[in-house]
């Protein structure tokens, strides 16, 4: 009996092992590899007569047979992801499994399973309970999917679905999808997801649902909401989370519960797309446009795209939801009235806000007409001041953290460059450091210019820290209606480094302690703030002229999402006698992006962008991949890519693939490593896939030749996000 397991090896060839007992594909095994013993997955198992052909094989050390084998659907997903993203099967399979599984012997695993089974709160299932649930065991009054209780608790949670929500749900039930839930910010998309999940779980007592969110830490609200909604009804442990903020034991517990079918809902980030869910029937991808669905290291997969593939493979319905869908998804979706029948996705539109709330009025401030060096225009400050007086909240959005992006000497021209990167170190006033946001290199701010000794080195430009300080100074003389001082707060990657800090800061905003919140894109996403009535983007222009063709798309969605934080509670606005406003300070007010934003007109923006991309032959009208090489010198990195390019001439699909010259990355050097990349593009996805598959072995071979010797690493990024 021979067992094949994918191994850690970069080549990803299946390795063969011997076993005296048959092992079904998907069985988890421990196998010897070199001098170590590693985790493997049985991929195929074939019988051999006698011990012929198996004598030279090493034997499987043990099977983790307390676990049922990984299902065929899961193995297909892993195989597809490996093939599509040009990685080895073993690498993808191992990355898809919880890390702790690698370290457990079959005895340890069996003990763990037994412990969990005896402490499980749901007697119906012999499987596992997630002990990480804050509610703990013993809360559940019923087994999974008890319909009577289901009906009751639904009433307890009852909000009547809006007409738009009801219509979206009806179409969701009637059709197979995949679906794009195109709903304005505040239209109640989450409620639609949760109702779709609830209906499925009540109807099918084994069914599982996967709910994916971009960054779970950003929306602690959601996790609580999902648990509240479903744990009473389907038992504690019915909901598990999967994301990188969890400890390895927590992740393993969640994974095991999903694999055993006991967890009915998995709520997770992009990694959750690989969760083993034997009865998966529904996948939700919330904020499907969010760039964090794209993994940026190792196998550079798009969890959104894999979710669509997985749904199709396993017969699970898929809902992609967004107020600002990715242009790819938008292009693939068809409007309800059936025009443009080309799209594969069913578009469910919810243009209105819950409670008939209006989307905020967008006000542009022409910065060309402001006095030089204006940070916040007088009109904007007035508007914020009025809100403070009424006890409402404002949000000021600036996508740059730190105090100032550069520190400079006016005498000699010295700037705070990072010695290890082709980038400036950012000045952080709070701890008086210069920090490189690329390699992390940090130093105390020098007392005087390191080049000429001038003591007057000054910050140039502005980040969130400086904006917070500035607002603090401006509003220092102002008092709130209760006489207390105005409270300015800041949320960004710096303010939230400590565990629990973000949740705490968000809670302070929700409770109304904060008057003005300054922050990066972290504050733009998903939050359901009830008292925010004004949002301002103070310096959004940079992204308009970026060399990255996706920059306008990202900016538009960020601004729409930011606007979506204002005026979410129509009742609150009415009782306050207030209006919701989104302020944009710009030098380019007539830019079509801002014009579309003013009208909240995503379709118009998308059409304009898609027209441009069609003409230019860019995604979604073409398919792209990047090959990147890192080396000590730019020349070494580029030489490797030149050689790779030359080697590709002979490939069968070369004529259908456009190859661009190797160029340095936008940030060319990081941590003393020079980076170069080469774009390849084709109008045919299949041609590009075949081309890349044929090219891979040549690249591996080149790495061993003199031209590849100095290369530190190379990689392929399929459907890259940043070019």
Contact of 74 with 92, CB cutoff 8 Å: no
User: Choosing among Zn ion, ligand ADP, none, which partner's interface includes residue 626 (Cβ < 5 to 8 Å by kind)?
Assistant: none
Q: Does 441 bind Zn ion (CB under 5 A)?
A: yes
Nearer to ligand ADP (CB atom), residue 262 or residue 533: 533
Out of ligand ADP, Zn ion, none, which partner does residue 420 contact, by CB within 5 to 8 A per kind? Answer: Zn ion
CB 54 within 8 A of CB 2: yes
> How far, in Å, CA of 656 to CA of 623, rounded?
11
Can you tell me which of 31, 201, 439, 718 binds Zn ion, judged by CB under 5 A?
Answer: 439
Residue pair 62/40 in contact by the 8 Å Cβ criterion:
no
The DSSP output letter for 424 is B
- Tell me which residue of 636, 688, 626 sits closest to 660, measured CA to CA: 626
Nearer to ligand ADP, 94 or 232 (CB): 232
**Residue closer to ligand ADP, measured from CB, 88 or 324:** 324
Question: What whole-number distance in Å separates Cα of residue 169 and Cα of residue 162?
Answer: 10
> Binding partner of residue 418 among ligand ADP, Zn ion, none, CB under 5 to 8 Å per kind?
Zn ion
**Residue 641, preceding peptide bond in cis (omega within 30° of 0):** no
CB closer to ligand ADP out of 155 and 615:
155
Q: Closest separation between CB of residue 359 and ligand ADP, Å? A: 11
Residue 45 in marked binding region: no
The minimum distance between CB 581 and ligand ADP, in angstroms, equals 18
For the CB of residue 192, give the shortest distance to ligand ADP in the complex, in Å.
8
DSSP state string for 589-648: TTSHHHHHHHTT-HHHHHHHHHHHHHHHT-TTSSEEEEEEEEESSHHHHHHHHHHHHHHH
Question: Which CB, 409 or 573, lies closer to Zn ion?
Answer: 409
Three-state SS for 577?
A: coil
Q: Which of 438, 470, 530, 721 binds Zn ion (CB under 5 A)?
A: 438
From the list ligand ADP, Zn ion, none, partner contacted by residue 414 (C-beta under 5 to 8 A by kind): Zn ion
CB 266 within 8 A of CB 283: no
CB of 509 within 8 A of CB of 416?
no
Q: How far is the CB of 593 from Zn ion (least distance, A)?
A: 31
CB of 197 to ligand ADP, least distance (A): 13
Which does residue 187 touch among ligand ADP, Zn ion, none (CB within 5 to 8 A, set by kind)? ligand ADP
Residue 159 near which of Zn ion, ligand ADP, none (CB within 5-8 Å, type-dependent): ligand ADP
When binding is defined by CB under 5 A, the residue of 42, 307, 449, 716 that contacts Zn ion is: 449
What does 357 interact with, of ligand ADP, Zn ion, none (CB < 5 to 8 A by kind)? none
User: What torsion do the CA atoms of 83, 244, 318, 172 make, to the nearest 10 degrees?
Assistant: 180
Tell me the closest approach of the beta carbon of residue 186 to ligand ADP, in angstroms.
5
User: Minimal distance in Å, beta carbon 273 to ligand ADP?
Assistant: 20
Nearer to ligand ADP, 197 or 299 (CB): 197
Closest separation between CB of residue 667 and Zn ion, Å? 9
The nearest distance, CB 569 to ligand ADP, in angstroms, is 7
CA-to-CA distance for 307 and 319, rounded, in angstroms? Answer: 9
CA-wise closest residue to 6 among 101, 91, 83, 65: 91
Sign of the Cα torsion 461, 465, 471, 472 reads negative
Nearer to ligand ADP, 397 or 714 (CB): 397
CA 377, 379, 382, 388 torsion-angle sign: negative
Q: Minimal distance in Å, beta carbon 466 to Zn ion?
A: 21
**Is 412 assigned to a binding site?**
yes
Q: 491, 597, 523: which is closest to 553 by C-alpha?
A: 597
CB of 434 to Zn ion, least distance (A): 10
CB 584 within 8 A of CB 597: yes
The item of Zn ion, ligand ADP, none sharing an interface with residue 311, based on CB under 5 to 8 Å by kind, is: none
- Residue 360 and residue 358: Cα distance in Å, rounded? 6
Q: Does 137 bind Zn ion (CB under 5 A)?
A: no
Q: Which residues bind to ligand ADP, rule: CB under 6 A? A: 159-162, 165, 183, 185-191, 354, 528
Among residues 452, 616, 667, 683, the one that binds Zn ion under rule CB under 5 A: 452
Dist CA 409 CA 161 (whole Å)? 60
In which region does residue 275 sit, left (phi positive, over 0), alpha (psi from -120 to 50) or beta (all else)? beta
The continuous run of DSSP H or E covering 444 comes out as strand 442-444
Quick one: what does residue 451 bind among ligand ADP, Zn ion, none, with the CB cut-off 5 to 8 Å set by partner type? Zn ion
Q: What is the H or E stretch that residue 111 is in?
A: helix 106-119
Give the angle 590-592-593 at the CA atoms, nearest 5°: 110
Question: What does 162 bind: ligand ADP, Zn ion, none (CB cut-off 5 to 8 Å by kind)?
Answer: ligand ADP
Q: Which does 411 bind (CB under 5 to 8 A by kind): Zn ion, ligand ADP, none?
A: Zn ion
Cis omega before residue 620 (within 30°)? yes
| CA-to-CA dists, residue 456 to 57, 450, 527, 552, 557, angstroms | 72, 11, 42, 37, 40
Q: In terms of CB distance, is 178 or 357 closer to ligand ADP?
A: 357
Contact flag: residue 454 with Zn ion (CB under 5 A): yes
DSSP category for residue 59: B
Interaction mask 396-435, Zn ion, x per CB under 5 A: -------------x-xx-x---x-xx--------------
Q: How many residues bind Zn ion (CB under 5 A)?
A: 15
Q: State the binding site.
A: 409, 412, 418, 421, 436, 439, 449, 452
Binding interface with Zn ion (CB under 5 A)? 409, 411-412, 414, 418, 420-421, 436, 438-439, 441, 449, 451-452, 454
Q: State the binding site for Zn(2+).
A: 409, 412, 418, 421, 436, 439, 449, 452
């Amino acid at each position: 009996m021979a067992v094949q397991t994918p191994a850690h090896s970069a080549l990803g060839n299946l390795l063969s092992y011997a076993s005296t007992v048959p092992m079904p594909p998907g069985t988890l095994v421990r196998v010897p590899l070199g001098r170590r013993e590693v985790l493997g997955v049985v991929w195929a198992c074939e019988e051999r007569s006698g011990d012929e052909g198996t004598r030279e094989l090493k034997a499987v050390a043990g099977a983790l047979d307390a676990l049922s084998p990984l299902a065929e659907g899961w193995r297909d997903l892993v195989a597809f992801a490996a093939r599509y993203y040009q990685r080895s099967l073993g690498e993808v399979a191992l990355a898809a499994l919880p890390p702790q599984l690698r370290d457990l012997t079959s005895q340890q695993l069996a003990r763990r399973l037994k412990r969990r089974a005896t402490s499980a709160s749901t007697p119906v299932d012999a499987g596992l309970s997630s002990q990480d649930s804050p509610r703990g065991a013993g809360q559940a009054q019923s087994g999974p999917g008890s319909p009577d209780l289901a009906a009751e608790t639904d009433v307890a949670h009852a909000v009547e679905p809006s007409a738009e929500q009801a219509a979206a749900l009806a179409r969701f039930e009637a059709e197979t999808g995949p679906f794009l839930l195109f709903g304005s910010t505040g239209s109640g998309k989450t409620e639609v997801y949760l109702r779709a999940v609830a209906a499925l779980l009540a109807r099918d007592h084994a069914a599982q649902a996967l709910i994916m969110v971009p960054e779970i830490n950003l929306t602690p609200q959601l996790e609580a909401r999902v648990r509240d909604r479903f744990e009473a009804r389907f038992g504690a442990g019915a909901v598990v989370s999967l994301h990188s903020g969890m400890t390895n034991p927590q992740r393993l517990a969640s994974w095991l519960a999903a694999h055993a079918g006991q967890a009915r809902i998995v709520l997770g980030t992009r990694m959750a797309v690989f969760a083993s869910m034997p009865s998966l029937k529904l996948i939700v991808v919330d904020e499907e446009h969010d760039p964090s669905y794209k993994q940026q290291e190792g196998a550079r997969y798009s969890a959104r795209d894999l979710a669509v593939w997985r749904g199709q493979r396993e017969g699970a319905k898929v809902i992609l939801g967004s107020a600002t869908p990715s242009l790819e998804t938008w292009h693939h979706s068809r409007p309800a009235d059936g025009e443009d029948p080309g799209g594969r996705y069913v578009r469910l539109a919810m243009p209105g806000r819950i409670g008939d709330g209006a989307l905020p009025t967008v006000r542009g401030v022409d910065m060309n007409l402001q006095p030089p060096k204006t940070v916040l225009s007088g009109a904007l400050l007035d508007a914020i001041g009025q809100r403070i007086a009424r006890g409402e909240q404002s949000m000021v959005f600036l996508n740059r953290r730190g105090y100032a992006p550069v520190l400079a000497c006016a005498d000699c021209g010295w700037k705070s460059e990072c010695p290890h990167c082709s980038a400036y170190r950012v000045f952080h006033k709070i701890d008086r450091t210069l920090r490189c946001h690329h390699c992390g290199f940090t130093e105390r701010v020098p007392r005087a210019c390191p080049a000429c000794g001038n003591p007057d080195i000054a910050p140039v430009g502005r980040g969130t820290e400086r904006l917070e300080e500035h607002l603090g100074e401006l509003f220092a003389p102002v008092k709130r209606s209760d006489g207390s001082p105005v409270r300015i707060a800041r949320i960004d990657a710096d303010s939230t480094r400590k565990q629990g800090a973000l949740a705490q800061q968000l809670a302070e905003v929700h409770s109304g302690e904060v008057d003005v919140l300054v922050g990066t894109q972290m504050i733009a996403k998903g939050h359901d703030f009830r008292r925010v009535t004004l949002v301002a983007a103070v310096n959004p222009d940079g992204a308009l002229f970026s060399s990255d063709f996706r920059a306008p798309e990202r900016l538009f969605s960020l601004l729409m999402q930011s606007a979506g934080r204002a005026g979410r509670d129509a009742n609150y606005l009415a009782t306050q006698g207030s209006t919701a406003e989104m302020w944009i300070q710009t030098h380019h007010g007539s830019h079509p992006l801002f014009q579309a934003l003013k009208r909240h007109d995503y379709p118009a923006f998308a059409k304009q962008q898609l027209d441009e991309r069609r003409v230019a032959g860019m995604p979604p009208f073409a398919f792209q991949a990047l090959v990147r090489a890192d080396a000590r010198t730019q020349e070494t990195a580029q030489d490797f890519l030149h050689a790779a390019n030359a080697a590709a001439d002979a490939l069968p699909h070369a004529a259908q693939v456009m190859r661009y010259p190797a160029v340095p990355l936008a940030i060319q050097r990081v941590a003393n490593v020079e980076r170069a990349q080469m774009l390849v593009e084709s109008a045919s996805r299949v041609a590009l896939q075949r081309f890349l598959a044929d090219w891979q072995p040549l690249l591996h071979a080149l790495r061993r030749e003199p031209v590849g010797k100095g290369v530190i690493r190379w990689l392929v990024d399929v459907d890259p996000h940043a070019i």
